[in-house]
Amino acid sequence: MTQAIGFDREKYIELQSEHIQQRRDEIGGKLYLEMGGKLFDDNHAARILPGFTPDNKIAMLEHIKNDVEIIVCINSRDLERGKVRADLGITYDEDVLRLIDVFRDRGFLAQNVVMTHFEDSNQRAWEFKDRLENLGLTVKRHFIIEGYPANVDRIVSEDGFGRNEHVETTRDLIVVTAPGPGSGKLATALSQVYQDNKLGIRAGYAKFETFPVWNLPLEHPVNLAYEAATVDLNDSNVIDHYHLRAHGESTVNYNRDVDAFPMLKTMLARVTGTEPYQSPTDMGVNMVGMCITDDQVCRDASIQEIIRRYYKELVTEAKSATTDTTQSDRAAVVMSKAGCSTADRPVVAPALEVEAATDGLPGAAMQLHDGTIITGKTSDLLGCSAAMLLNALKHLAGIDPEVHLLSPEAIEPIQTLKTRHLGSTNPRLHTDEVLIALSVSASHSQDARNALAQVRGLAGCNVHTSTILGSVDEDIFRNLGVLVTSEPKYWKKRLYRKS
């Protein structure tokens, strides 16, 4: 059974393309289009809007790619922090390189990188700048502006935007994107508009912001899922009072855009001589709300995302052994707004029941797309995640649950290799080892071949484990598209853990 769909991908591409072209016509010159969220691999949107694919945005831009140039931003402070994209498990600096490769592979012009919040004392920033330039990329530095975003006089001056290094662009539609939030995309786009107009180049600004969805209610689960995804930034959804006052229409935006709007409006008026926008909502080009085809499907998916984000923060705090629960507390507040709790995640109770029934050994549970719950327990041969994975594949392939897809004789050599030759103290097979063993078995077993054919059907399924996952299992589930949460505890107490 396939995942329920609640979003019309093709309608979105059509409407979004038309709206961007309309905005380009209104600007009449260069349009700097700030890309809120991720331009590529927008897994958050795909999770909460079933039917939205992670490449929806870039697929839409491919229709006009000969007009498009892409600027990638990275906050230099994120280099010092070693900030990681949680959905991919890679640092922001590596993601900059990955994104540029993806853009170029799809035929887009991507040559310029802007390093925002640049400080001379940041050694890692200088090192990354050198690395980018050695790879043939053009790198510009943008600096911290004292009083941003309140001190408009300073911002719109040679000591503000004028101090930044100007990016020379060659196309009329410039998409400003980044590995994640807080990267300085807005300031980069506005700085470019300021400097272009100083050079006599007509330029304007618009925002391609997916979330929050302006024409959904303030506390619709889709919008609350955005708050849950940005607890590290402490973002919150708010009513756009500028839009309400100007147009008499209640719309939703988020606090940082609303806070920055007076500066944006004043800046655009000073450098372009016009006031194109009366509200933060006016400056957006977001057609997502027009393309939801099943509101309940998207509500349900968003509730699950909100709960997943809560568990993610709990696990992060447990891994770092911190007493600071600020982010999990914020995530808990979002759950309260959404009227949900961990009890609303169907895989939690079954996983904990397996643990309780096996005297505290880790348990795992998966919900398939037809609602079936599949569990896995820890044994001498398999970890709970590996056992659950095999059980799910057997169920989807219609194989008798009592059938052993992998015989003990097939598993034993792998265990011997791990413990005697590779230095592992855990003989149980991980999910990657189970999949490899299953692939080998498929050469002579029809059941194994049938089970392997079901692997794609796991994408989008929800999983919960009663202990924190090891990095190997975490990576495998991520690659399979399985949506995992874990209890914020380890099975065994250890001071040192391999990542």
At 382, which CATH number? 3.40.140.40
User: Residue 213: which domain range?
Assistant: 9-295
Domain boundary among 276, 295, 314: 295
Report yes or no on 156 lying in a domain: yes
Same domain for 176 and 77?
yes
Same domain for 210 and 135?
yes
CATH code where residue 165 lies: 3.10.630.10
- Answer yes or no: are the C-beta atoms of 43 and 54 closer than 8 Å: yes
Same domain for 280 and 417?
no
Helices (H) and strands (E) in the chain, counts: 19, 14
Report yes or no on 468 lying in a domain: yes
Same domain for 272 and 397?
no
Cα–Cα dist 175/38, whole Å: 11
Report yes or no on 45 lying in a domain: yes
Same domain for 200 and 275?
yes
Same domain for 271 and 375?
no
In a structure prediction context, what are the per-residue pLDDT tens digits for the chain, which is 499 residues long?
A: 568 999 999 999 999 999 999 999 998 899 999 997 788 888 999 999 999 999 999 999 998 999 999 999 999 999 988 998 877 788 999 999 999 999 999 999 999 999 999 999 999 999 999 999 999 999 999 999 998 878 888 999 999 999 999 999 999 999 999 998 889 998 999 999 999 999 999 999 999 988 999 999 999 999 999 999 999 888 899 999 999 999 999 999 989 889 888 888 988 888 788 888 999 999 999 999 999 999 999 999 999 999 999 999 999 999 999 899 999 999 999 999 999 999 999 999 999 999 999 999 999 999 999 999 999 999 988 999 999 999 999 999 999 998 888 877 777 777 788 777 777 777 788 899 999 889 988 888 999 999 999 999 999 999 999 999 988 899 999 999 999 999 999 987 654 455 4
Report yes or no on 331 lying in a domain: no
Same domain for 288 and 381?
no
Rounded to whole angstroms, what are the CA distances from 437 to 251, 264, 431? 53, 58, 10
Query: What type of residue sits at position 375?
Result: T
Q: Are β-strands 363-367 and 373-377 bridged in parallel, bridged antiparallel, or unpaired?
A: antiparallel
User: What total number of domains does the chain contain?
Assistant: 2
Cα 96 to chain centroid distance, Å, stands at 14
Report yes or no on 372 lying in a domain: yes
pTM tops 0.75: yes
Same domain for 291 and 370?
no
- Answer yes or no: are the C-beta atoms of 172 and 23 closer than 8 Å: no
Same domain for 80 and 145?
yes
Helices (H), 137-293: 152-155, 185-198, 221-229, 241-247, 255-272
Cα–Cα dist 398/3, whole Å: 19
Report yes or no on 450 lying in a domain: yes
Cα–Cα dist 257/191, whole Å: 16
Cα–Cα dist 79/123, whole Å: 10
Report yes or no on 352 lying in a domain: yes
Same domain for 409 and 478?
yes
Report yes or no on 93 lying in a domain: yes
Same domain for 235 and 357?
no
